[in-house]
Every structure is written in C-alpha cells, then in structure tokens.
Chain A
Amino acid sequence: MLSPVTDADGAPFWEYAARGELRVQCCADCGEARFPPRPCCPHCQSFASTWRRTSGAGRVWSYVVPHPPLLPGYAERAPYNVVVVELADHPRVRLVGNVVTGPDAALDSVPPDRIRIGARVQAVFCSDGLPRWTLERP
C-alpha cells in the first residue's frame, strides 16, 4: 500500500493525524482555511498559518468504487470505496479517504452499496497514520 509522499506544506497534517487529530491549515491573519496546504494564503497573501483542530465530522461529497487493473495491495481489496468528505467545520475543505467499519479495518470492510452522497461520517485514525471515516449510521 502507498504511504503519503509528503512535502513541507503537507507534513503537519500527517503529523497531527498520527496523533489522532484532524487539523486543517488556516491563515493566521485572515483566518481562511485552505486545502491542500500551501505556503501562502490565496485570500490575503499572508505567509503565516496555523493548524486548527476540527471536530472530524463530515458528509460524503462523492465516492467511487475502483475495480482492477489496480496496483498490488489495492487490487486484492477491490472493489473498495474511495470517498471525498466535506468537513462540517470547513465546508470547502474536502478530504479524500475511505469509509471503513473502524480504525484499521480493511479497505473493503464496508460494502460500497452502503455508501451514499450526503451520508454523515466521522474521522477515525488508523495505525498507518491515515485518517479514514466511519458511517454515523452504518
């Protein structure tokens, strides 16, 4: 399975996620959240930023169900779901992830037909350092 190949801007996200916190980068001057992380605020051009903790609540904005051909590790779990989740605290921040039954559950632990656009989800934190999502009403 692939791990995030991170960069200076993205590293804090993964460091917080490894501690079980879902944080997003916000401008330290105008307060606007931005994702993906980047050096400068596109609203006010400030280079100062903070990482604001979120509730981890969100809704499914869209999802796909990949089928082979896929990379090794993923092909064995296919068909699995990949979702885009819109954060309740920051509606313009949408995170790619997977809906799973719980922390460290398999990529295909939730049948794709259980997933709907608009479904409420909650972030869970996995030992591989990646935040994933559980359905509020499984």
Chain B
Amino acid sequence: MSGVPGFKDATAIVGIGQTPFARRLGEDERTLACRAVVAALDDAGITPGEVDALASYTMEETDEVELAKAVGFGDLTFFSKVGYGGGGSCATVGHLATAIAAGQASVGVAWRSRKRGSGPRPWRDTTAQLPTPAQWTRPYGLLRPVDEIAMLARRYLHEYGGTRDHLFNVALACRNRANQNPDAVMYDRPLTREMYMTSRWISEPLCLFDNCLETDGALACVIVGRERARDCRRPPVWVHSAAQGLPAQHHGMVNYWNDDPLTGPAWAAARHLWKHADLTPQDVDVAQIYDAFTALVPLSLEGYGFCGRGEGGAFTEGGALEIGGRLPLNTGGGGLSEAYVHGFNLINEGVRQLRGTSTAQVPGAATCLVTAGEGVPTSALLLRS
C-alpha cells in the first residue's frame, strides 16, 4: 500500500490571488498581503469569516494577528510559519493540507507578501547572522546568495560537463513564458543567446540572467477539504502529495561540507513525494521549479527524478523546457522572469495550468510538480486536476 491514508487528494487549492508585480509598488507589505488574500478568497467564493488556518514562511513581515484582524478572519485554530526562505513556499500548502486532512482546520490560507524590489537586499545587512554559518564564508567575500550558489554551480558544471548553454536554456524558457504573460515583469522583454552570453557577470560562472528578479508583490491561495472543494467557484486542484526535505548533514546554501554536496534537499523531498503518490516523474505534464538561480534547475531536475544524476544540464537541451518539450517549465515566467516572490508565484501558476487558464497553457495538463528552493531545506507539491 502506498501513501498515507487521509492525505492523498484529501484537500484542494480552490482559490488563488495576487497583486501586480513590479520593481516598486506604492503600498506596504501588509496592504499587499491583504489584497492578495482577499483576491484568493474571492476567487474561491469563500468569505473571510470561514478561514480558520494560516501558513506563511520566513521573511514574511505580515503576521497572523495583523492579517486576521485586517481581513476579518474567524477563530483561527491552526497557524504555522515555515523556515528557510524560498524553501518554505510549498510547505505552506503542505502544512495546511495536513492540518485540514487531520481535522485541525477547514479553510486554510497561505500567502507571501514581499517588497524585495524596492526594499533592501538581505545580504547587505551584515549584523543579521544568517542561519547558514556565515563565520566560515563571509569574511572571504562570499557575501551573497548568488556567490554561495555559484560555488556549487561551478563544481556541478566541472563534474558533469555542463555548460553555460544549459543554464541559458533555463533562463530562455522562463523568459519565453514571461513574454506570453502580461502580468510578468519581463512580459515585453525578449531574451537572446547573445544577450545572455555577453551580459555582465554577477558571480562567475553566473551572469546577470542566471539571477532572479527583485520584485514587489504578494500572492495567496486557499486550501479546503475534499467535500468543500466540490462546492467552490473554481474547479479544485488536488493536493496529491506534499513533502518537506532536509537531508542528513545538509548545511543550507553553503552545502559544501558533506559527502555529496551536489545532491541536496530536492532528493530528500522527492523520496517522500513520490513514495506517497500514485504518479511518477514521467506522469508530470508541467513543472514549476524554483529558480532563484538558473543553476538550481538542473539540480532539481535530477533531485525530483526527471533524469539521472549529472544529466540535469543535458536534459535542458533541444527545447525540453519549452511548451511542447519534454517538461514545460515555469510557465508564468518563474522567479527569473515573472516575479521573484520567494516562489509563491510558482504555486499559483501550477493551479492555473491545472485549471487550463495559464497564459502559456500546456494542452491537457493534468499533473503539475511545484518545488520550493533547492539549496536550502525545501518542500514540494504534486498537484493534479
């Protein structure tokens, strides 16, 4: 018998909402959070007074009390906050689905509100000691997330014969999908190989286009149980399987100190995700893979089982990530080209694909993998229509 009785397809995402995405929005994070949550509840046809569960993740500045009193929630009986930045996005849905399936709540809202575009870069704050052990890295000038991931990316390309073209394939697929999505920050900005190859370095071997955007914006989604889901305004998108992943001896972004730094949290999350699913990677019609940096995508493709170890770079060849390819990816444009809101836009885009309403719709998409940040303790969702 596979799967945990009571979790698989026991809950569904029935509402999604978001604000515009931009380098700078006028309203503050709390207001943006409220707008996204109200929009998601309206999309679901559920009144705020029915909400009894919340889930968010680190660096969320709008807390449960603020949101509940502003939007007008009822009694909350479950609320959780997941750690590790972009690794927590999918876990918000996972926690709510778990709580609802276990009877701890009935209507859950997950959200993310962030003014990263107009606000300060977290790495510039040298007084905040990061959860990663900064004493071993920052004095040497390994200062930013891009530096930390570039270190793994260099080793990855060296060990497996990957190329910058592989990373470009990721950036291009995201940009092409953003060019189809009027809500994407990069909607009207096509990318060419020449632009990529001649762009400025940020941290060699990663260039400007290997890095995600910096965006202001907020998103939310609504999760309910099976029975309630059938009565909502939109077709339910079922939470088929969900997982978090923190593998043994993992060190966060600077995962240089274990036996095998090129396998990370994706592998741990994937083992649980597939073990409890009726589906395999071959059944996935479309994927939303966390893309703070292009180099995270080949790692995630390997970790979630779309290809073998070291084959993630080659997997991107031949238009595999484009519409019509083996695995259409980040169909709203992802963090690289739609908006960087710590991956929550990947969840909402996964829902749109399974509703058939994406601006880059994969024909007949019935199964979507959504992942959170690789390179930090992570999470993932397997959604189906």
Q: Does A82 contact B (CB under 8 A)?
A: yes
Whether B141 pairs with A74 at a CB distance below 8 angstroms is yes
Chain B residues whose C-beta falls within 8 Å of the C-beta of A35 in the assembled complex: 257
Give the distance in Å from the alpha carbon of A117 to the alpha carbon of B259 in the complex. Answer: 17
Majority DSSP secondary structure for residues of A touching B: loop
Q: List 20 A-B contacts (CB under 8 A).
A: A2-B139, A4-B136, A7-B135, A61-B256, A63-B151, A65-B201, A66-B147, A67-B203, A69-B121, A70-B144, A74-B143, A77-B141, A80-B141, A84-B151, A92-B258, A96-B136, A98-B141, A112-B204, A130-B140, A132-B140
A93 at the interface (CB under 8 A from B): yes
Instruction: Using A3-B139, A4-B139, A84-B151 as known contacts, say yes or no to A66 and B144 having CB atoms under 8 A apart.
Output: yes
B204 to chain A: which residues have CB within 8 Å?
Answer: 64-67, 79, 112
A77 proximity list for chain B (CB < 8 A) = 141
Which of A1, A4, A66, A71 lies at the interface centre, i.e. has the most chain B CB atoms within 10 A of its CB?
A: A66
Contact B201 A5 (CB under 8 A): no
Question: Do B201 and A79 touch across chains, with their CB atoms under 8 A apart?
Answer: yes
Range for the number of chain A residues in contact with chain B: 35 or more
Interface stretch (choices B59-67, B152-160, B220-228, B358-366): B152-160
Q: Report how far A62 CA is from B144 CA in the complex, Å.
A: 16
8 further interface pairs, Cβ-Cβ under 8 Å (given A79-B204, A96-B254, A130-B140): A2-B126, A2-B139, A5-B134, A10-B136, A63-B154, A67-B204, A82-B151, A130-B139
* Beta-carbon contacts under 8 Å, A79-116 to B: 79-80, 82, 84, 92-98, 107, 112
Q: A97 near B140 (CB under 8 angstroms)?
A: yes
Complex CA gap A113/B201 in Å reads 15
Please report the C-alpha to C-alpha distance between residue A62 and residue B153 in the assembled complex, in whole angstroms: 9
Task: Report yes or no: B140 in contact with A98, Cβ–Cβ below 8 A.
Answer: yes
Contacts of A4 in B (CB 8 A): 135-136, 139
B123: min CB distance to chain A, Å: 8
Task: Give A18 to B278 CA distance when docked, in angstroms.
Answer: 57
With A3-B139, A7-B135, A96-B137 known to touch, is A67 a contact of B201 (CB < 8 Å)?
yes
Q: A65 to B203, Cβ gap below 8 A?
A: yes
Q: Are B143 and A94 touching (Cβ within 8 A)?
A: no
By a CB distance below 8 angstroms, the chain B residues around A3 are 139
For residue B322, give the distance in angstroms from its CB to the closest CB of chain A: 29
- Report if B339 contacts A (CB, 8 A): no
Q: Which of B135, B141, B142, B151 is within 8 Å of A10, CB to CB?
A: B135
Q: What is the CA–CA distance of A65 and B136 in the complex, to the nearest angstrom?
A: 17
Q: Which residue of chain B is the closest to A130 with respect to CB atoms?
A: B139
B249 CB within 8 Å of chain A: yes
What residues of chain A lie closer than 8 Å to B143, measured between beta carbons?
Answer: 66, 70-71, 74
Contact residues in B for A62 (Cβ distance below 8 Å) = 151-152, 154-155, 158, 256
User: Interface size of B by Cβ–Cβ distance < 8 Å?
Assistant: 36
Expressed in whole angstroms, the minimum distance between the Cβ of B132 and any Cβ of chain A is 10
A31 lies within 8 A of chain B by Cβ: no
A97 to B254 Cα, complex, angstroms: 13
Residues of A within 8 A of B141 (CB): 66, 70, 74, 77, 80, 82, 98, 107
Which residues in A have their C-beta under 8 angstroms from that of B282? Answer: none
Residues of A within 8 A of B (CB): 1-7, 10, 14, 35-36, 42, 61-67, 69-71, 74, 77, 79-80, 82, 84, 92-98, 107, 112, 117, 128, 130, 132
Let me know if B147 and A82 touch, CB within 8 A.
yes
- Which partner residue on chain A sits nearest B126 by CB separation? A2
Tell me if B124 and A64 are in contact (CB < 8 A): no
Interface residues of B in 142-187 (CB under 8 A from A): 142-144, 147, 150-152, 154-155, 158
With A7-B135, A67-B200 known as contacts, the answer to whether A93 contacts B142 (CB < 8 A) is no
A63 to B242, CA, bound (A): 35
Interface check B138, CB cutoff 8 A: yes
How many Å lie between the Cα of A5 and that of B203 in the bound state? 24
Contact A64 B150 (CB under 8 A): yes
CB-based contact A117/B201 at 8 Å: no
Q: How far is the CB of B42 from chain A (nearest CB, A)?
A: 40
What's the Cα separation between A5 and B128 when bound, in Å? 10
Q: Which residues of B contact A63 (CB under 8 A)?
A: 151, 154
Q: Which residue of A lies closest to B138 (CB)?
A: A2
